[in-house]
Amino acid sequence: MFSRITGIGSFLPGEAVSNDDLARRGIETSDQWISSRTGIRFRHLAENGETSSDLALEASRRALAGAGLAASDLDLIIVATSTPDYIFPSTACLLQSKLGNHGATAFDVQAVCSGFVYALTIADKFIRSGSHRRALVVGSEVFSRILDWSDRATCVLFGDGAGAVVVEASEQPGILATALHADGAHHGILSVPGSVCGGQVTGDPFLRMDGQAVFKFAVRVLAEVAEECCRAAGISPADIDWLIPHQANIRILEATAKRMKLPMDKVIVTVDRHGNTSAASVPLALDEAVRDRRIQAGQKILLEGVGGGFTWGAVLIEL
């Protein structure tokens, strides 16, 4: 038994917020400063009270419609998020309730920007084991809630959004290979080093990042895990039709493609319009490329992510 993606959906909240819009809000920055360093020109920001499960709900409904399924058909729901609605219950359980599903296995995965790749790999293992047949895998984030808007080195990079896929058991392989890794020794270069204790915030509740260290680490491991995943599938990186990396920074995407000896016209890029949406970035980019018909049936697509932890991974799929 294999697993295959049968439906894809995504959702971006509100209107696009430009770099100039951020400058008008009082952030000491400019379109030239942001775009020249990151490639980012726009991002979407959730309204007050709009949660990760709200964004996930819209993306999930679209993915289910694409698969021709009802929520009641699902027996597994996995949500990848670093910005859950609550400490508990899980965002997956809250999404399950909003969808009207009763009884499916539901849980969250916390691997930050690698979260969707981790969650998709887990769903593949569940389905291939024979224990489950229809999974909903979602990456959903409201990173705007954990940004220090006085820190222009980080606040301009991130956006909010959600992407979802339906994964079903199939006699034909759709998920061809996976590879996951983590190394907690690097936790200090990207983290939100705070928590809640006794009703009070302890530590620092905002995202903090060593940008140069993240860049060097990300480019190396993204290229390595892509090659590892291709080897597992018995192909070379040159055989990939499309690369969809985590959308963090255009320079990381370009450097990764260069190390893999892939032309940029094989790389799906949405960071310019979405910013870094963490666990949502890969499914958002996948959905866009499927909808605009760049991705065609039978093509091989490599999805990969790297995020705080540090975590990284890749999934090779064929739609």
Show which residues are catalytic. Answer: 113, 246, 276
Q: Write the Ramachandran bin of 261: left for phi over 0, alpha for psi from -120 to 50, otherwise beta.
A: left
Q: Determine contact, residues 161/284, Cβ cutoff 8 Å.
A: yes
Q: What one-character-per-residue DSSP string does 180-230 give?
A: EEE-GGGGGGEE--EEEETTEEEE--S-EE-HHHHHHHHHHHHHHHHHHHH
Nearest C-alpha neighbor of 161 from the set 284, 18, 288, 41:
284
Taking the C-alpha atoms of residue 150 and residue 156, their distance in angstroms, rounded to an integer, is 10
Compute CA 15 distance to the chain's CA centroid, rounded to the nearest angstrom. 20
Specify whether the CB–CB gap between 8 and 165 falls below 8 A. Answer: yes
Instruction: Give the single-character DSSP code of 158.
Output: B
- Number of other CB atoms surrounding residue 303 within 10 Å: 28
